[in-house]
């Protein structure tokens, strides 16, 4: 039941993000005569403090969060995995240096570092992605390194080495396919983290700028009108909660499926 | 055994601290207190150094000054009346000698000591600049003080609004910011990060100023009875919400806070009048006033309100007219001498205050209609204000709060007042404006000055040195059992001297 619900939420999120391209600039048009209207037949989720449709802005917010999540996970995973595999496979002083760098990044609160970076780089969606990638690659690197350490002495890799297969090909064809499953699980949690972090940065005014919509800045703007128009916070807040919950549930499910011990116990 | 020892320690500690806690609680919860919600704690309770609006308003309750202003913002006597012996010599005579809160009677010595400390370079008062024309200040006798100026200054009397401090405590380097001592209607009681307490001299009613940063929380505290009164700094929707609550009451009064859009005259596009006029005609100010302020603001034409003794009385000539704006935009030239074709992109800087961003988004939407694409850049107050002072902007919006003296025009529009020398942030340079500023400063009578200042304001309005927006109304929200509060156009808190809690329930 929960599984179906999670996949349904994610499908809706992706559809909303795609639908965002069809909305166009009408979502940003200010209507001076329709400030803070409650949900009605004319406005499905009501209007915001500038008379704009909350439903349309929710869709644009879904697009923003989806693009940020996809961008962050894509770049973080590529960078982190590449560094992790190389470090684990090479070993020696390279591995020791990379491990120390990873430890330093892990010791620092991720969101705090992203806030500092976003503040230095300036507000904007590209800078949000960049800031989150800078803190996000570490998780993938640590996982990829640990997995590579356990894989590098396997027979098929030793055989490839003996046959003088180039290192990049060993990485790509003999190690990476075996890492995809755990990395996929890590990516699901990465998506949830990126969605929350983007909302957090936008809430702090470091994310997307007006008139662009993001769930984070919708919540931020809505908190000022909590007493008079609670729908401004409820709509993006619920959307954010559902997406993060669904992505986390899917991640949990995939992790359980890949866990050999749990599967054995099940049999 | 161990358990009984622990209990014994706990009981002992409770007995030791309970009298202290009880006394602290008793000190901060007096029944006759009026609790006022403010956005932040007052930063400076020494009137010689106070520059922020809240501190200045609270200092008015603790201290008294030589002069005050009437409804037309012309100087009137407060502690002292004055005569101009010659343009370089003014004599002030104390009308009364009130008692300072530490028991000493005010005399001319206190006035002299206050102004001498203000003029002391080492002391570093922010008000020293406006008083630098004072050559010497001396006490003639116990009630008369002479001010000698280095050059004639017809606006001189209006500058003597700093609260008077006792000379003996100035001598002792008393910490006035922490323990203010004045001769005003309220005496200082207590001050920490959470609360400032003053006591009214006439009826010993305590005034508690409680900082509550978030506007929604301020309204909730008002509704719950944790606050009794809030003045300004709520969104129009929250004020409307308060109006609908049975336990709350809302008062309104015309205000003088002047909102404007500033232009950078160093910018090759914005130095062209047709572009500034196009922007003025593209922003529907009456509709914004109606939507954003529920009609509680007045269209502005100048920094000074028409009610000011030298205020400008003219019709609003920049009505909302998108077609005219489009036609004006076609007259704009590109830096290479060609005519502007298509859209123009301009950046607009603002603070990250949500109301300011909301207004910026409305301008952005309205300007888009005529072909001006506004890039909104919102920053924290420090970064934003620094950028404006440094001239790193094309358009920005700010407000002038509590302006009373017409020498503001010299400070804001004189070619020689570009920061850090003044507040000509737009780098506005106009010979006619400079001449009128000099002429007004040299005028001998207030009538003549008023005439020149009106001419100057007309010139600034015609040339759109800045786009005047509106004067926001003042408002106060109070609990329904709070009576007698008065509002003033400049937002001063003097109404707290009359406020009381109704006894009828």
**Tens digit of each residue's pLDDT (9 = 90 or more) over B242-258:** 999 999 999 999 999 99
Name which of B245, B289, B365, B369 to mutate to probe chain A: the one with the most chain A Cβ atoms within 10 A of its Cβ.
B365
> Which residue of A lies nearest to B352 if distances are taken between CA atoms?
A205
For residue B121, give the DSSP letter.
Answer: T
If one counts every other C-beta atom within 10 angstroms of the C-beta of residue B175, the result is 11
Confidence of residue A119 (pLDDT cuts 50, 70, 90): confident
Give burial (CB, 10 Å; 0-12/13-18/19+) of B499.
buried
User: What pLDDT shows up at residue B191?
Assistant: 94
Residue A194 lies in a domain: yes
Confidence of residue A201 (pLDDT cuts 50, 70, 90): confident
Q: Which residues of chain A neighbour B378 with C-beta distances below 8 Å?
A: 123, 205, 209-210
Residue A36 lies in a domain: no
Indicate the domain borders of chain B.
Answer: 44-182, 255-472
Nearest neighbour of B376 by CB, restricted to A33, A209, A228: A209
Q: Which residues of chain A neighbour B216 with C-beta distances below 8 Å?
A: 223-224, 226-227
Q: Are B107 and B142 in contact (CB under 8 A)?
A: yes
Q: Are A51 and B358 in contact (CB under 8 A)?
A: no
State the Cα–Cα distance between residues A99 and A113, nearest whole angstrom: 19
Q: Which residues of chain B neighbour A50 with C-beta distances below 8 Å?
A: 358, 361-362, 365
Asked if the Cβ–Cβ distance from B237 to A29 is below 8 Å, we say no
Which helix or strand (DSSP H or E) is residue A196 part of?
A: helix A176-203
Name which of A36, A50, A202 to mutate to probe chain B: the one with the most chain B Cβ atoms within 10 A of its Cβ.
A50
Determine the average pLDDT of the residues in A223-249: 91
How big is chain A, counted in residues?
267
List, as one string, the DSSP characters of A1-41: -HHHHHHHHHHHHHHHHHHHHHHGGGGG---TT-TTPPS-S
Name which of A211, A216, A232 to mutate to probe chain B: the one with the most chain B Cβ atoms within 10 A of its Cβ.
A211
The most distant pair of C-alpha atoms in chain A lies apart, rounded to whole Å, by 76
Is the pLDDT at B504 greater than 70? The verdict is no
Dihedral sign from CA coordinates of B458, B463, B465, B467:
positive
For A122-160, write each residue's pLDDT tens digit.
777 888 888 889 888 999 999 999 999 988 888 898 899
Q: Which residues of chain A neighbour B387 with C-beta distances below 8 Å?
A: none
For B293-329, write each residue's pLDDT tens digit.
989 999 999 999 999 999 999 999 999 999 999 999 9
> Which residue of B lies nearest to A211 if distances are taken between CA atoms?
B361
> Which residue of B lies nearest to A29 if distances are taken between CA atoms?
B365
Min Cα distance A191 → chain B (Å) is 28
Asked if the Cβ–Cβ distance from B237 to A223 is below 8 Å, we say no
Host domain of residue A130: 2-24+41-261
Residue entry with tokens 């204000």: B385
User: What pLDDT shows up at residue B19?
Assistant: 45
Reply yes or no: is the peptide bond before residue B420 cis, omega within 30 of 0.
yes
> Which residue of A lies nearest to B244 if distances are taken between CA atoms?
A228
For B396-430, write each residue's pLDDT tens digit.
999 998 888 998 999 999 999 998 888 999 999 99
Q: Which residues of chain B neighbour A30 with C-beta distances below 8 Å?
A: 361-362, 365-366
State the Cα–Cα distance between residues A177 and A198, nearest whole angstrom: 30
User: What pLDDT shows up at residue A123?
Assistant: 76
Name which of A32, A115, A216 to mutate to probe chain B: the one with the most chain B Cβ atoms within 10 A of its Cβ.
A32
Residue A129 lies in a domain: yes
Nearest neighbour of B358 by CB, restricted to A49, A209, A229: A49
Torsion of CA A194, A195, A201, A206, to 10 degrees: 90
- Displacement of CA A26 from its chain's centroid (Å): 27
Determine the average pLDDT of the residues in B175-197: 95
The whole-chain average pLDDT of chain B stands at 90
User: What pLDDT shows up at residue A84?
Assistant: 94
B33 at A interface, C-beta within 8 A: no
State the Cα–Cα distance between residues B329 and B305, nearest whole angstrom: 30
User: What pLDDT shows up at residue B31?
Assistant: 64
State the Cα–Cα distance between residues B230 and B332, nearest whole angstrom: 47
More confident residue, A264 or B342: B342
Hey, which CATH number is domain B44-182, 3.40.640.10, 3.40.50.1950, 3.90.76.10, 3.50.50.60?
A: 3.90.76.10
Residue A34 lies in a domain: no
Task: Copy the structure tokens of residue B151.
Answer: 């050059």
Pairing mode of beta strands B196-200, B206-211? antiparallel
Name which of B234, B286, B361, B376 to mutate to probe chain A: the one with the most chain A Cβ atoms within 10 A of its Cβ.
B361
Is the pLDDT at B28 greater than 80? The verdict is no
Asked if the Cβ–Cβ distance from B360 to A210 is below 8 Å, we say yes
Min Cα distance B362 → chain A (Å) is 6
User: What pLDDT shows up at residue B26?
Assistant: 40
Q: Which residues of chain B neighbour A224 with C-beta distances below 8 Å?
A: 215-216, 235, 238, 354
Task: Copy the structure tokens of residue B492.
Answer: 């001063």
CATH class in words for B255-472: alpha beta
How far, CA to CA in Å, does B1 sit from each of A131, A133, B6, B367?
A: 58, 58, 9, 80
Q: Which residues of chain A neighbour B377 with C-beta distances below 8 Å?
A: 123, 209
For B122-161, write each residue's pLDDT tens digit.
998 888 888 989 999 999 999 999 999 998 888 899 999 9
Is the pLDDT at B1 greater than 70? The verdict is no
Residue A29 lies in a domain: no
Dihedral sign from CA coordinates of A223, A225, A230, A232:
negative
Q: Which residues of chain A neighbour B374 with C-beta distances below 8 Å?
A: none
Q: Are A16 and A67 in contact (CB under 8 A)?
A: no
For B134-143, write each residue's pLDDT tens digit.
999 999 999 9
Which helix or strand (DSSP H or E) is residue B259 part of?
A: strand B248-263
Reply yes or no: is the peptide bond before residue A211 cis, omega within 30 of 0.
yes
Residue A57 lies in a domain: yes
Min Cα distance B356 → chain A (Å) is 12
Is the pLDDT at B261 greater than 90? The verdict is yes
b vs e for B91-117, b when ≥16 Cβ sit within 10 Å of the residue's Cβ? ebbbeeebebbeeeebbbebbbbbbbb
Task: Copy the structure tokens of residue B9.
Answer: 């320690």
Q: Which residues of chain B neighbour A29 with C-beta distances below 8 Å?
A: 365
Residue A31 lies in a domain: no
Q: Which of residues 341-370 of B touch A (CB under 8 A)?
A: 352, 354, 357-358, 360-362, 364-366
Nearest neighbour of A224 by CB, restricted to B215, B220, B360: B215
For A37-84, write each residue's pLDDT tens digit.
999 888 889 999 999 999 999 999 999 989 999 999 999 999 999 999
User: What pLDDT shows up at residue B439?
Assistant: 94
Q: Are B147 and B92 in contact (CB under 8 A)?
A: yes
List the end-to-end C-alpha distance of chain A, in Å, as a whole number. 22
Min Cα distance B236 → chain A (Å) is 10
User: What pLDDT shows up at residue B7?
Assistant: 54
For B361-386, write each residue's pLDDT tens digit.
999 999 999 999 999 888 888 889 99
User: What pLDDT shows up at residue B200?
Assistant: 96
Chain A residues touching chain B at CB-CB below 8 Å = 28-30, 32-33, 35-36, 49-51, 123, 205, 209-211, 220-221, 223-229
Number of domains, chain A: 1
Q: Are B242 and B248 in contact (CB under 8 A)?
A: yes
Residue A108 lies in a domain: yes
B348 by DSSP, 3-state: which? Answer: strand
State the Cα–Cα distance between residues B12 and B368, nearest whole angstrom: 72
Nearest neighbour of B235 by CB, restricted to A210, A211, A224: A224
For residue B296, give the DSSP letter.
Answer: -
State the Cα–Cα distance between residues A238 and A55, nearest whole angstrom: 13
Confidence of residue A260 (pLDDT cuts 50, 70, 90): low
The whole-chain average pLDDT of chain A stands at 87
> Which residue of A lies nearest to B291 if distances are taken between CA atoms?
A32
Confidence of residue B505 (pLDDT cuts 50, 70, 90): very low
Q: Which of residues 240-299 of B touch A (CB under 8 A)?
A: 240-241, 284, 287-288, 290-291
Bridge partners, B376 (sequence order): B348
User: What pLDDT shows up at residue B15?
Assistant: 46
More confident residue, B398 or A27: B398
- CATH number of the domain where residue A174 is located: 1.10.3720.10
- ipTM score of the complex? 0.72
């Amino acid at each position: 039941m929960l599984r179906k619900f999670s996949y349904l939420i994610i499908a809706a999120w992706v559809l909303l993000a795609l639908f965002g391209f069809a909305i166009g600039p009408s979502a940003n048009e200010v209507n001076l005569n329709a400030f803070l209207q409650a949900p009605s037949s004319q406005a499905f989720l009501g209007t915001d403090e500038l008379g704009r449709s909350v439903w349309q802005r929710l869709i644009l917010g879904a697009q923003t969060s989806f693009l940020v999540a996809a961008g962050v996970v894509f770049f973080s995973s590529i960078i982190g995995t590449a560094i992790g595999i190389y470090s684990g496979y090479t070993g020696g002083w390279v591995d020791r240096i990379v491990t120390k760098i990873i430890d330093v990044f892990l010791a620092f609160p991720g969101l705090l570092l992203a806030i500092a970076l976003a503040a230095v780089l300036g507000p904007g969606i590209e800078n949000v992605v960049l800031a989150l990638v800078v803190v996000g690659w570490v998780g993938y690197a640590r996982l990829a390194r640990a997995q590579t350490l356990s894989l590098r002495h396997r027979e098929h890799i030793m055989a490839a080495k003996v046959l003088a297969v180039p290192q990049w090909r060993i990485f790509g064809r003999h190690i990476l396919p075996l890492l995809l499953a755990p990395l996929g699980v890590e990516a699901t949690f990465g998506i949830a983290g990126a969605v929350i972090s983007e909302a957090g940065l936008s809430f702090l005014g470091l994310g997307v700028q007006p008139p662009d919509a993001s769930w984070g800045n919708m919540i931020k703007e809505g908190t000022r009108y909590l007493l008079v128009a609670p729908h401004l916070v409820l709509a993006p807040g619920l959307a954010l909660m559902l997406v993060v919950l669904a992505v986390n549930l899917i991640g949990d499910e995939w992790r359980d499926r890949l866990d050999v011990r749990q599967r054995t116990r099940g049999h | 055994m161990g358990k009984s020892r622990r209990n014994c320690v706990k009981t002992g500690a409770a007995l030791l601290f309970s009298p202290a806690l009880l006394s602290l609680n008793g000190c901060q919860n007096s029944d006759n207190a009026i609790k006022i919600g403010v956005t932040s704690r007052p930063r400076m309770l020494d009137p010689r150094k106070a520059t922020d609006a809240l501190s200045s308003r609270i200092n008015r309750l603790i201290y008294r000054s030589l002069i005050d202003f009437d409804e037309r913002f012309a100087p009137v006597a407060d502690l002292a009346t004055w005569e101009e012996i010659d343009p370089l010599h003014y004599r002030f005579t104390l009308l009364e000698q009130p008692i300072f809160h530490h028991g000493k009677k005010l005399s001319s010595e206190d006035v002299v000591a206050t102004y001498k400390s203000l003029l002391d370079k080492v002391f570093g008062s922010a008000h020293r600049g406006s008083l630098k024309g004072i050559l010497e200040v001396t006490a003639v006798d116990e009630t008369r003080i002479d001010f000698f100026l280095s050059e004639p200054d017809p606006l001189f009397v209006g500058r003597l609004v700093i609260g008077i401090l006792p000379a003996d405590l100035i001598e002792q380097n008393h910490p006035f910011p922490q323990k203010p001592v004045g001769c005003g209607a309220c005496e200082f009681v207590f001050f920490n990060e959470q609360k400032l307490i003053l006591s009214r001299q006439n009826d010993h009613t305590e005034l508690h100023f409680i900082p509550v940063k978030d506007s929604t929380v301020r309204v909730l505290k008002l509704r719950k009875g944790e606050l009794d009164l809030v003045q300004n700094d709520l969104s129009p929707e929250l004020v409307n919400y308060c109006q609908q609550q049975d336990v709350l009451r809302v008062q309104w009064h015309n205000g003088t806070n002047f909102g404007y859009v500033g232009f950078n005259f160093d910018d090759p596009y914005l130095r062209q009048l047709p572009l500034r006029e196009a922007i003025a005609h593209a922003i529907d100010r009456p509709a914004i006033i109606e939507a954003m302020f529920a009609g509680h603001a007045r269209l502005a034409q100048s920094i000074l309100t028409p009610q000011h003794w030298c205020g400008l009385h003219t019709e609003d000539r920049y009505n909302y007219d998108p077609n005219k704006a489009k036609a004006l935009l076609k007259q704009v030239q590109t830096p290479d001498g060609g005519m502007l074709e298509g859209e123009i992109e301009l950046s607009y800087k603002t603070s990250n205050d949500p109301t300011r961003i909301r207004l910026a988004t409305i301008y952005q939407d309205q300007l888009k209609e005529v072909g001006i694409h506004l890039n909104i850049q919102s920053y924290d107050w420090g970064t934003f204000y620094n950028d404006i002072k440094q001239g790193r902007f094309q358009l920005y919006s700010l407000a002038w709060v509590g302006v009373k003296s017409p020498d503001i025009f010299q400070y804001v529009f004189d070619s020689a007042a570009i920061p850090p020398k003044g507040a000509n942030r737009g780098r506005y340079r106009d010979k006619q404006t400079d001449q009128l500023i000099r002429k007004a400063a040299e005028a001998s009578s207030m009538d003549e000055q008023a005439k020149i200042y009106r001419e100057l304001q007309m010139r600034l309005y015609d040339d759109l040195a800045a786009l005047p927006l509106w004067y926001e109304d003042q408002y106060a929200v109070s609990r329904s059992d709070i009576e007698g509060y008065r509002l003033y156009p400049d937002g001063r808190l003097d109404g707290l001297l009359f406020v009381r809690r109704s006894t009828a329930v």
